[in-house]
């Protein structure tokens, strides 16, 4: 027996790389295509190939890894499918910036050469996030790593596109879409981030042709008036029932446009008259369709005004706005300008203000697919956990609009559609046709647009497993078991996977969807670079170790509640890792072999208690992880390891381990200690894989990796670990007595080394019997000179008291406590606190400080005030207790 087996302190950096390399080399993450084991599968939310690990990734992947490691311990055949997303717009932007640094742009290179450059970039830089996930301990089946532009996945994308087109669920049409002038591409509704901005409402007069007056309209975007093709009023608006004219003159362009009546018009907004610009507003587009209005596009794809904008042609859209306002003012047609705060859409990638634009795009008819995705959740085929997200999921699918899937960029899956230049025939096919199916011409041009990134990632659960081929992997692992995701991609990705999975696989893509919350800073604020409160997970891992970081994430991952992250919390769980390490070092001093059999007839009360507690912990962890209550599982283990195993059990069995109670007691204690430590390591492994693997391989009697171990519920050797509620009750009595004595020591400032005399009164025969039987452990852990137990009688003199549920503990203070000295000490402590409170109270009574200081600063001052008040109250209680003592 030697503590040389473990270093004096745990150094995570020395351990983590060594064990991760070992796990990969031994293929411990690999799934079996065919197996008699129960299948368990998770597909990773594929991070962007441009990405680096942030807190959201860390939480998401830590939770997935916990589940996968847990299910392996349960004996399942686990597939955690990894991969990355090609991230069309984001990746193209990154590569274009690289080119620009060298004085090039993609158009100079041409499409083919540009795509080659992107692949080169991906090969050199695109794997960064994968390496970072490995630092986090992610046990993905890396041999199966996929990329959304892989040949196999690209084939699946073409297959889905062609089939949906043939089924009439994909079509091409002219519609208003969200357009990013910077990225020069269409965006789906979900790719638009809305921000509140300070803007203005401009009131513009549209004169009647005969000069008899005007209709005033209010707009936030005066530059779009150049594309107006009507003015609309509500048919029930009395202000416009008897207009002298049914047309007005469009200012600046002097074009006659009709006045139309449509119930969409909000009578309470502005003047109740609406300028209609079908080419630049989605609602105006629908009005235009109802009234057969022409659509005039005056803002081009580059954000500049077109030739239809007249003299403003070529101007930037925002410069045009200023020019239009000045020209209207000069002509006396600008009635007034009022301030307005409203929501403006911005590109989710480059944050440019998006432009609603009329454009010919490809769309998916979403409603038929959405209905099936809703039904799957309503019937329970897929559960959303926590269920508070079901309402949001249903609302989005019930109001879903057709999905714009074409993007005007080069990096991505080029749409498999060809147009015949001779006759205009459109052909959609898996492979490029050699000739037109209508006229036989070979003059064919492929669609230049690529598909929305989310189109390919919507196929992820089955395309990664080899679909459209009927592979053994699909047969074994589809549907997957659970998807772990943030709520921010519930619609971007989850709903679309549901739609595609049900349509093409005739089954849901996953049985459960666990939606985790956000990771915020310690004050509950969303992390952002502008606030300067971003915590880099890699820095945290470097400083505190991966295990401490993972355990922190799990411990605070409560359903429906955001994770408040701070380095102090990670530091606290690093202390937990060190506590486990040091407890193991102590244990290994007494363990030299496996102890599979526990002599139940000879084990002590402390042994029975810890085994019973372990039994409860095993079941609690199993229930918590099965229900996605990660925080409950983590906190249960923390409580058990730190406060029960380390603080109580190891102290309680020291006399037996050191041989003070005989060989039989020592062997029994060793057997229980070995078993408890072994099973505790297995329970902890999903949360803190590195340190548990390191300890496991130093624990006598273990074989191979801890990843090959069996979860205690599934291990027949743990049958001896049974519930013993009576032992728990008895041990709780013992611990309460020891805690009571320790509290009196602390309150009365009695030296830890002072041996005390204690008398315990209890009316309960069973309690007295327990105390007498366990007097040895009580005297040892409470550091007592003597212990007497009796039925209730006269209160002993000169004694401090701790009152328990079925007993009263009296600690004799005669010869132990100097009342005068202790009174002086307490008074001195209270005086120091009073002085500090005076200064803090002045701050809190200062209205200027409360009004001007940041909220977090004020709260810290209040918190300090509360802490000092609590400390003073405790000192007052202690003073009263001393005054009540009769030491004469």
Taking only the tens place, the pLDDT of each residue in 448-465 is: 999 999 999 999 999 999
Low-confidence winner among 149-153, 204-208, 220-224, 489-493 (lowest mean pLDDT): 489-493
Other beta carbons within 10 Å of 544: 21
With tokens 């200081």, the residue in question is 853
pLDDT band for position 716 (50/70/90)?
low
**Helices and strands in the chain: count of H runs, count of E runs:** 30, 29
DSSP run (H or E) holding 369:
helix 366-378
User: Which residues are known binding-site members for ATP?
Assistant: 529
Other beta carbons within 10 Å of 657: 19
Considering 19-33, 102-116, 551-565, the range whose residues carry the highest mean pLDDT is: 19-33
Rounded (5°) CA angle 177-178-184: 105
Check if the beta carbon of residue 593 is closer than 8 Å to that of residue 708: no
Check if the beta carbon of residue 85 is closer than 8 Å to that of residue 701: no
What's the pLDDT score for residue 190? 67
| HSE (side-chain half, CA atoms, 13 Å) at 303 | 17
Phi/psi for 44 (5° steps) reads -70, 135
Smallest CA-to-CA distance from 480 within 152, 71, 87, 24 is with 71
Smallest CA-to-CA distance from 413 within 86, 83, 116 is with 86
Choice between 843 and 36, residue whose per-residue pLDDT is larger: 36
Residue 304 CA to residue 298 CA, distance in Å, equals 8
Q: What is the DSSP letter of 716?
A: G
Residue 339 CA to residue 351 CA, distance in Å, equals 23
| DSSP states along 761-775 | E-S-HHHHHHHHHTH
Bridge partners of 344?
A: 195
What's the pLDDT score for residue 197? 86
Residues ≥6 apart with Cβ < 8 Å to 224: 275, 277, 280, 281, 298, 299
pLDDT band for position 624 (50/70/90)?
very high
Residue 714 CA to residue 72 CA, distance in Å, equals 11
User: Which residues are known binding-site members?
Assistant: 529
Coarse DSSP helix, strand, coil percentages of the chain, rounded to the nearest 5 percent = 50, 20, 35
Bridge partners of 419?
A: 426, 445
Using CA atoms, how far residue 646 sits from 107, 581, 794, in Å, is: 67, 11, 38
Q: Is residue 157 classed as helix, strand or coil in its secondary structure? A: helix
* Four-residue CA torsion sign, 336, 340, 342, 345: positive
Q: What is the 3-state secondary structure (H, E, C) of 475-509?
A: HHHCCEEEEEEEHHHHHHHHHHHHHHHHHHHCCCC
With tokens 């599934």, the residue in question is 714
β pairing state of 230-233 and 255-261: parallel
- Kindly calculate the radius of gyration of the chain based on its CA atoms and give it in whole angstroms: 36
Using CA atoms, how far residue 561 sits from 353, 558, 880, in Å, is: 32, 6, 42
Q: Is residue 598 classed as helix, strand or coil in its secondary structure? A: coil
pLDDT at 883 over 80: no
* Four-residue CA torsion sign, 407, 411, 412, 413: positive
14-20, long-range: CB < 8 A, 24+ apart? 15/690, 15/691, 15/693, 15/694, 16/135, 16/137, 16/545, 16/546, 16/690, 19/689, 19/690, 19/693, 19/694, 20/134, 20/137, 20/690
Bridge partners of 255?
A: 250
What's the pLDDT score for residue 818? 66
Q: Which tens digits make up the pLDDT trace of 90-147?
A: 898 889 888 988 899 888 999 999 999 999 999 888 888 999 999 999 999 999 999 9
pLDDT at 63 over 60: yes
| DSSP states along 453-471 | HHHHHTTHHHHTTTTTS--
Cα dihedral 468, 471, 476, 481, rounded to 10, equals: -30
pTM of the prediction? 0.84
What's the rounded mean pLDDT across residues 475-496?
Answer: 91
Q: Is residue 183 classed as helix, strand or coil in its secondary structure? A: coil
DSSP run (H or E) holding 561:
none
What's the rounded mean pLDDT across residues 484-499?
Answer: 88
First CA to last CA distance, the chain: 53
Query: Tokens in use for 693?
Result: 């693997």
What's the rounded mean pLDDT across residues 386-395?
Answer: 93
Choice between 694 and 884, residue whose per-residue pLDDT is larger: 694
Residue 280 CA to residue 222 CA, distance in Å, equals 12
In percent, the amount of the chain with pLDDT more than 70 equals: 97
Q: What is the 3-state secondary structure (H, E, C) of 514-553?
A: EEECCEECCCCCECCCCCCCCCCHHHHHHHHCHHHHHHHH
Cα dihedral 864, 865, 866, 872, rounded to 10, equals: 110
Q: How far is CA 80 from its chain centroid?
A: 18
Residue 673 CA to residue 419 CA, distance in Å, equals 76
Other beta carbons within 10 Å of 440: 11
Check if the beta carbon of residue 312 is closer than 8 Å to that of residue 226: yes
Check if the beta carbon of residue 603 is closer than 8 Å to that of residue 668: yes
Cα dihedral 584, 586, 589, 592, rounded to 10, equals: -30
**What is the total residue count of the chain?**
888
Phi/psi for 344 (5° steps) reads -120, 135
* Four-residue CA torsion sign, 182, 186, 189, 190: negative
Residues ≥6 apart with Cβ < 8 Å to 374: 393, 394, 397, 398
Q: Which tens digits make up the pLDDT trace of 583-621?
A: 999 999 999 888 877 777 778 999 999 999 999 999 999
Query: Tokens in use for 560?
Result: 């429906």
Task: Tell me the average pLDDT of the chain.
Answer: 91
pLDDT band for position 888 (50/70/90)?
very low
Choice between 59 and 826, residue whose per-residue pLDDT is larger: 59
Bridge partners of 173?
A: 361
Omega cis (within 30) before 598: no
Q: Which tens digits make up the pLDDT trace of 528-539?
A: 776 778 889 999
Q: Which tens digits make up the pLDDT trace of 342-371?
A: 888 888 778 888 888 888 889 999 999 999
Q: Which tens digits make up the pLDDT trace of 667-686?
A: 999 999 999 999 999 999 99
Cα dihedral 174, 179, 184, 188, rounded to 10, equals: -90
Residue 217 CA to residue 199 CA, distance in Å, equals 17
Smallest CA-to-CA distance from 17 within 120, 101, 131 is with 131
Phi/psi for 345 (5° steps) reads -75, 140
Q: Which tens digits make up the pLDDT trace of 243-264?
A: 888 999 999 999 999 999 999 9
* Four-residue CA torsion sign, 397, 401, 402, 407: negative
What's the pLDDT score for residue 691? 98
| HSE (side-chain half, CA atoms, 13 Å) at 685 | 31
What's the pLDDT score for residue 1? 42
What's the pLDDT score for residue 178? 86
What's the pLDDT score for residue 861? 87
| DSSP states along 643-696 | IIIIIIIHHHTHHHHTTTT-HHHHHHHHHHHHHHHHHHHHHHTTTSHHHHHHHH
* Four-residue CA torsion sign, 248, 250, 255, 261: negative
Q: What is the 3-state secondary structure (H, E, C) of 65-121?
A: HHHHHHHHHCCCEEEEECEEECCHHHHHHHHHHHHHHCCCCHHHHCHHHHHHHHHHH
What's the rounded mean pLDDT across residues 237-241?
Answer: 91
DSSP run (H or E) holding 174:
strand 170-180
Q: Is residue 185 classed as helix, strand or coil in its secondary structure? A: strand
Residue 606 CA to residue 602 CA, distance in Å, equals 12
């Amino acid at each position: 027996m030697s503590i040389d087996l473990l270093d004096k302190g745990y150094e995570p950096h020395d351990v983590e790389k060594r064990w991760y390399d070992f796990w990969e080399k031994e293929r411990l993450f690999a799934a079996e295509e065919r197996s008699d084991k129960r299948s368990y599968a998770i597909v990773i939310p594929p991070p962007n190939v441009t990405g680096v690990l942030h807190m959201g990734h860390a939480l998401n992947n830590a939770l997935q890894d916990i589940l996968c490691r847990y299910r392996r311990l349960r004996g399942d055949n686990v597939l955690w499918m990894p991969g990355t997303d090609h991230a069309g717009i984001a990746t193209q932007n990154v590569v274009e910036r690289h080119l620009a640094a060298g004085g090039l742009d993609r158009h100079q290179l041409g499409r083919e050469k540009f795509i080659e450059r992107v692949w080169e970039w991906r090969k050199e830089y695109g794997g960064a996030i994968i390496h970072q996930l490995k630092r986090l301990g992610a046990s993905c089946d890396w041999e199966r790593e996929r990329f959304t532009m892989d040949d196999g996945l690209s084939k699946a994308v073409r297959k889905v596109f062609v089939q949906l087109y043939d089924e009439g669920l994909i079509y091409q049409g002219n519609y208003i879409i969200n357009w990013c002038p910077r990225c020069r591409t269409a965006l789906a509704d979900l790719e638009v981030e809305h921000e509140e901005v300070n803007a203005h409402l401009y009131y513009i007069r549209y004169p009647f042709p005969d000069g008899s007056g005007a209709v005033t309209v209010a707009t936030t975007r005066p530059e779009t008036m150049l594309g107006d093709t009507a003015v609309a009023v509500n048919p029930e608006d009395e202000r416009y029932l008897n207009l002298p004219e049914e047309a007005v003159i469009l200012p600046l362009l002097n074009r006659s446009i009709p006045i139309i009546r449509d119930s969409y018009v909000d009578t309470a907004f502005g003047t109740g008259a609406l300028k209609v610009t079908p080419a630049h507003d989605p609602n105006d587009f629908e009005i235009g369709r109802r009234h057969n209005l022409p659509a005039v596009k005056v803002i081009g794809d580059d954000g500049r005004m077109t030739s239809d904008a007249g003299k403003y042609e070529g101007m930037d859209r925002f410069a045009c706005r200023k020019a239009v306002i000045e020209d209207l003012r000069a002509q006396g047609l600008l009635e007034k300008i009022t301030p307005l705060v409203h929501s403006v859409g911005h590109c989710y990638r480059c944050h440019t203000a998006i432009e609603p634009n009329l454009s010919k795009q490809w769309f998916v008819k979403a409603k038929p697919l959405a209905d099936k995705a809703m039904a799957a959740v309503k019937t329970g085929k897929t559960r959303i956990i926590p269920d508070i997200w079901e309402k949001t999921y249903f609302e989005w699918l019930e109001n879903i609009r057709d999905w714009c899937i074409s993007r005007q960029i080069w990096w991505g899956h080029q749409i498999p559609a060809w147009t015949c230049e001779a006759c205009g025939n459109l052909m959609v096919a898996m492979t490029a046709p050699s000739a037109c199916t209508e006229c036989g011409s070979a003059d064919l041009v492929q669609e230049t647009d690529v598909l929305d990134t989310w189109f390919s990632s919507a196929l992820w659960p089955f395309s990664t497993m080899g679909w459209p081929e009927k592979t053994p992997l699909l047969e074994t692992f589809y549907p997957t078991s659970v998807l772990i995701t943030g709520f921010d991609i519930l619609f971007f990705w989850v709903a679309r996977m549901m739609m595609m999975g049900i349509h093409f696989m005739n089954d849901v893509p996953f049985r459960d969807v666990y939606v985790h919350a956000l990771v915020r800073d310690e004050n509950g604020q969303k992390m952002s670079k502008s606030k300067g409160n971003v915590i880099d997970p890699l820095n945290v891992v470097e400083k505190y170790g991966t295990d401490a970081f993972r355990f922190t994430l799990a411990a605070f991952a409560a359903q429906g509640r955001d994770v408040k992250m701070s380095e102090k919390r990670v530091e606290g769980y690093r202390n937990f890792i060190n506590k486990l390490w040091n407890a193991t070092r102590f244990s290994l001093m007494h363990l030299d072999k496996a102890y599979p059999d526990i002599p139940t007839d000879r084990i002590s009360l402390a042994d029975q208690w810890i085994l019973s507690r372990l039994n409860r912990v095993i079941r609690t962890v199993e229930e918590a992880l099965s229900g996605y209550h990660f925080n409950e599982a983590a906190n249960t283990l923390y409580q058990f390891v730190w406060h029960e195993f380390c603080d109580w059990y190891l102290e309680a069995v020291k006399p037996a381990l050191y041989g003070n109670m005989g060989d039989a007691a020592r062997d029994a204690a060793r057997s229980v200690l070995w078993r408890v430590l072994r099973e505790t390591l297995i329970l902890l492994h999903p949360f803190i894989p590195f340190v548990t693997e390191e300890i496991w391989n130093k624990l006598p009697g273990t074989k191979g990796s801890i990843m090959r171990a069996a979860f205690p519920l599934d291990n027949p050797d743990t049958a001896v670990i049974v519930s013993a509620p009576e032992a728990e009750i008895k041990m709780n009595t013992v611990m309460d007595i020891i805690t009571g004595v320790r509290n009196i020591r602390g309150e009365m400032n009695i030296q830890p080394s002072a041996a005390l005399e204690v008398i315990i009164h209890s009316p309960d025969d069973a309690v007295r019997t327990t105390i007498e039987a366990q007097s040895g452990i009580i005297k040892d852990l409470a550091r007592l000179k003597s212990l007497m137990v009796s039925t209730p009688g006269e209160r002993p003199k000169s004694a401090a008291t701790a009152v328990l549920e079925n007993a009263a503990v009296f600690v004799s203070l005669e010869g132990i406590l100097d009342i005068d000295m202790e009174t002086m000490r307490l008074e001195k402590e209270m005086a120091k606190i009073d002085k500090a409170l005076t200064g803090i109270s002045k701050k809190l009574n200062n209205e200027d400080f409360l009004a001007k200081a940041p909220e977090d600063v004020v709260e810290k001052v209040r918190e300090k005030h509360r802490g000092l008040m609590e400390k003073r109250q405790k000192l007052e209680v202690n003073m009263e207790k001393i005054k009540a003592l009769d030491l004469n």
